[in-house]
Chain A
Amino acid sequence: DGGITQSPKYLFRKEGQNVTLSCEQNLNHDAMYWYRQDPGQGLRLIYYSQIVNDFQKGDIAEGYSVSREKKESFPLTVTSAQKNPTAFYLCASSPWTYGSYNEQFFGPGTRLTVL
Chain B
Amino acid sequence: AQKITQTQPGMFVQEKEAVTLDCTYDTSDQSYGLFWYKQPSSGEMIFLIYQGSYDEQNATEGRYSLNFQKARKSANLVISASQLGDSAMYFCAMRTNNDMRFGAGTRLTVKP
Q: How far apart are B29's CB and chain A's nearest CB, in angstroms?
A: 11
Of A90, A98, A99, the residue contacting B45 (CB under 8 A) is: A90
**Residues in B neighbouring A48, C-beta threshold 8 A:** 100
Which residue from chain B places its CB closest to the CB of A92 in the assembled complex?
A: B45
Of A44, A88, A98, A101, the residue contacting B95 (CB under 8 A) is: A101
| B105 engages A88 (CB within 8 Å) | no
| B105 engages A109 (CB within 8 Å) | no
Of A41, A44, A45, A106, the residue contacting B105 (CB under 8 A) is: A41
Which residue from chain B places its CB closest to the CB of A42 in the assembled complex?
A: B102
| A103 engages B44 (CB within 8 Å) | no
**Residues in A neighbouring B44, C-beta threshold 8 A:** 106-109
Of B32, B37, B43, the residue contacting A101 (CB under 8 A) is: B32
**Residues in B neighbouring A101, C-beta threshold 8 A:** 32-33, 35, 50, 52, 95
Does A64 lie at the interface of the complex (its beta carbon under 8 Å from any beta carbon of B)?
A: no
| B105 engages A98 (CB within 8 Å) | no
Does A33 lie at the interface of the complex (its beta carbon under 8 Å from any beta carbon of B)?
A: yes
**Residues in A neighbouring B31, C-beta threshold 8 A:** 99
Q: How far apart are B26's CB and chain A's nearest CB, in angstroms?
A: 15
| B100 engages A104 (CB within 8 Å) | yes
**Residues in B neighbouring A108, C-beta threshold 8 A:** 42-44
Of B35, B100, B104, the residue contacting A33 (CB under 8 A) is: B100
Footprint of B on A, CB under 8 Å?
A: 33, 35, 40-45, 48, 88, 90, 92, 98-99, 101, 103-109, 111
Footprint of A on B, CB under 8 Å?
A: 4, 31-33, 35, 37, 42-47, 50, 52, 91, 93, 95, 97, 99-100, 102-105
